[in-house]
Structure 1
Amino acid sequence: MYSSRGFRRGLAIGLVGAAISSVAAAQEQKTISMIYFNGSSEALEVGILMDEGIFEKNGLKPEFAQATSGPAITSALASGSVQFGPGYPALYLPALKQNRALRVAGPFAESGFYNIIAQKEIELADPGVGVNENSLENVKSMMGKTVGVTALGAQTQVFVQLLAQQGGLDYKEITFVPTGGAASALAAFKNKQVDFLVTWIPEDGLLAEQGIEYQTAVNANSGPDNSFGLINGLWLVNSDFADENPDIAHAFCKATIELRQFVQDPQNKERVLEIMQKHQGLDRKGAEIVYENWRYVYEPIEVNYVSENLWREQSRYLTGTKDEGYVPEYGNYISNDCMKLGQQAMKQ
């Protein structure tokens, strides 16, 4: 039989072993710095990565910085003051032209695009879905009016400029007003400080909750049935950091794929709705609206995969700028190993 003395000795050894194992596990967690908009579409991804332990499973321990604007995010990533964050094509493409230190961190882009809402009293045509004759007709109504965008020079502004150009209009006749993130943007619209507002996930789920009256001017859904052919954003990493820490960059890539697979599984719907409410400020009804309309945005599907063709298409963001026609070399900014993981995820 085991003596009490032997038992205590064995227990002590076991506890020491567990402590050593715990310390080793803690040491395996690599600290990374991330930046994103609180309450944004990326906030859902961050929420799943954190609350479902996906970061931890992949040996990552994130520290967060809150973003103030898209241009600020791009600058922070390029300078290396943060390591990972969302990248918006209208902003990172000019940065790549300037040889800034940026690289794609995951194989899938966010394909959910923007809507543009208008005050109820403005006369508009039914925009339908996508960029069509009616939606471009509605863009004409923006001439001489105010349009709320997250920040001056942000991708939300570039989006409106592209629509205007596609409709043969001079976007300089539009007054762009910086309205910030979801909370301040919706408040500005509700108080009629702007005539139009460019909205994105999760604002679609917040409008009814806040009793905001509006009509849709443009519904540019860039998903499986897209007619605009552009993406909203993807995850970027500071390329100097990725070169020095390829294992961490690979772990982050895996984590982004796993979160998308989590969202894709309908059995996880209730959990996703909970995380939406927690991290995007939605009530239950609003979360369901976003989930049903935009879940595909986060799934590992072909339309979201950053293929070479999709990568090249994003140069359309530079239309009418001094960088028009610039297409960065795909292989210079994409990890082959990461993209292979993405291809495997689409097959599962």
Structure 2
Amino acid sequence: MSRRHLAPLALLLAGALVACSNSTPAPATQVIPKTESEIVSAIDTAKVRKTLTVGVDNPHYLFHHDVLVALDRGYFKEVGIDNVTIVTTEDPLPGLIGGSLDLALYDTDTTIAAGVKSRTQLRMLSIYLGGEANILGVRQGINTPQDLRGKTITGGQFGSRNDFLVRKLIRDAGMNPDTDVKIVSTGGQSNSRLQAILSGTVDGAGIQLRHKGMLEAQGGKFLLQETAQVPQVGWSAGKLLAESPETVAAFLQATLKARQFIVDPQNKDAVLNLMAAKGFQIPQEFKDAYADENAPDYHTRDGGFETADMDKFVTDQINFKVVPSGTNWRQWVDLMPLWRAQKALGLPLRPAIGGFQ
């Protein structure tokens, strides 16, 4: 997953917006039910906001198709929402905290950190991408880890998770990332890192599953690859959660229903045709990666996560100084809307209620 790591900017803006955000009451501490029977799944459409504006930071269709499929198939109408507008922006957190955005799809760690720093009503709601594909792609002529010696590699910005992951791949391959290769810091998302390989700017870089065909067409390859369960990207809300929790539950129910449609391989053509009709450029390499990028263990089918995975992820990000030391992430999530949506769709509750009691 291509992580943006605009955490310093996001946290700075979060602090700047805290004064105006405090005018809206923060959501009450989340209520943890004792049993699933206490969760009311039915949506009261009379309490649901009819129009919403959501922020998404990545232009790749994968980050838009839950909302667009839900609109196209009428799932939002079923729960009382008439229209959802998507705003693509590098950093949706200022708009979410300030109130111009109702929900945002963004990095879990950065969102939690912004909530801690701003002390606003910002809360994580559910997970969108729960799998992390850690891939080192290399140019033509590099065939073994030993061929990396002396070569120029990038994982993105120094200190980012991508940078950490590329160093881990090199270390796991039996090499020292500090002495055996030359690691450089670069900006941009994974598409930019792919172009850096293809142009010869670097010899290898951390890239994504969808880049395999384009890289191989130029003689390159995926040299090193690991996967893990990391609850890295998800939906969050601020003022909307305080003012209309019913709307948040309705939004998650509609988009998770769309998710069930999307992850079914039989619906691949229908989804891709819809996204192409919406103006997304989807080269054959992206089409070929559909099954991998929409696999239920990557594009999380139920919006949930395991508490142990979140514990590890947040601990890692505290060590990287992305999340403030001492953060208890459980204080910065509200799972009731997710649990309501999961129950309505007949999905098991995940995380389990017992992990929060």
User: TM class by shorter-chain length?
Assistant: 0.5 to 0.7
Q: Distance in 2 between matches of 1:207 and 1:275?
A: 26
**Partner of residue 130, structure 2:** 110
User: Given the alignment of the two structures, is residue 192 of structure 1 paired with residue 231 of structure 2, yes or no?
Assistant: no
Q: Secondary structure at the match of 1:33?
A: strand
Q: Distance in 2 between matches of 1:200 and 1:100?
A: 34
CA drift of 1:62 comes to: 2.3
Instruction: Give a deviation string over 1:300-333, Cα, whole Å, max 9, x none.
Output: 25xx622433321212432643457644242541
CA drift of 1:145 comes to: 2.1
- Aligned positions of 1:260-275 closer than 5 A: 260-275=259-274
Q: Secondary structure at the match of 2:282?
A: coil
Q: Distance in 2 between matches of 1:205 and 1:57?
A: 39
Q: Counterpart amino acid of 1:64? A: I
Instruction: Give a deviation string over 1:31-68, Cα, whole Å, max 9, x none.
Output: 32323311253133344234334344430522232223
**Partner of residue 306, structure 1:** 305
Among 79, 88, 111, the residue aligned to 1:66: 88
Preserved CA contact (<8 Å) 2:49 2:244: no
Q: Distance in 1 between matches of 2:242 and 2:150?
A: 46
Preserved CA contact (<8 Å) 1:147 1:197: yes
**Partner of residue 25, structure 2:** none
Question: Structure 1 unaligned runs (5+)?
Answer: 1-23, 126-136, 223-228
The alignment's TM-score, normalised by the length of structure 1, stands at: 0.68
For this pair of structures, how many residues does the alignment match? 295
CA drift of 1:335 comes to: 2.4
Q: Distance in 2 between matches of 1:44 and 1:164?
A: 34
Q: Distance in 1 between matches of 2:186 and 2:68?
A: 30
Identity %: 15
Instruction: Give a deviation string over 1:219-256, Cα, whole Å, max 9, x none.
Output: 2223xxxxxx423312222x233112212211221122
RMSD: 3.8
**Partner of residue 219, structure 2:** 213
Q: Distance in 2 between matches of 1:207 and 1:144?
A: 17
Instruction: Give a deviation string over 1:276-310, Cα, whole Å, max 9, x none.
Output: 55565223564133225643233525xx6224333
Q: Counterpart amino acid of 1:339? A: W
User: Given the alignment of the two structures, is residue 159 of structure 1 paired with residue 178 of structure 2, yes or no?
Assistant: no
Compared CA separation, residues 245 and 293, structure 1 to 2 (3 A): closer
CA drift of 1:119 comes to: 1.5
Q: Distance in 1 between matches of 2:137 and 2:307?
A: 33
Instruction: Give a deviation string over 1:191-223, Cα, whole Å, max 9, x none.
Output: 112222222354346546xx333221332223x
User: Given the alignment of the two structures, is residue 257 of structure 1 paired with residue 256 of structure 2, yes or no?
Assistant: yes
**Partner of residue 211, structure 2:** 203
**Partner of residue 141, structure 2:** 121
- Aligned positions of 1:31-46 closer than 5 A: 31-46=52-67
Instruction: Give a deviation string over 1:122-162, Cα, whole Å, max 9, x none.
Output: 3524xxxxxxxxxxx89xx487724153x666543353356
Compared CA separation, residues 313 and 255, structure 1 to 2 (3 A): farther
Question: Structure 2 unaligned runs (5+)?
Answer: 1-44, 350-357
Q: Distance in 2 between matches of 1:142 and 1:181?
A: 23
The alignment's TM-score, normalised by the length of structure 2, stands at: 0.66
Compared CA separation, residues 97 and 330, structure 1 to 2 (3 A): same
Q: Secondary structure at the match of 1:113?
A: strand
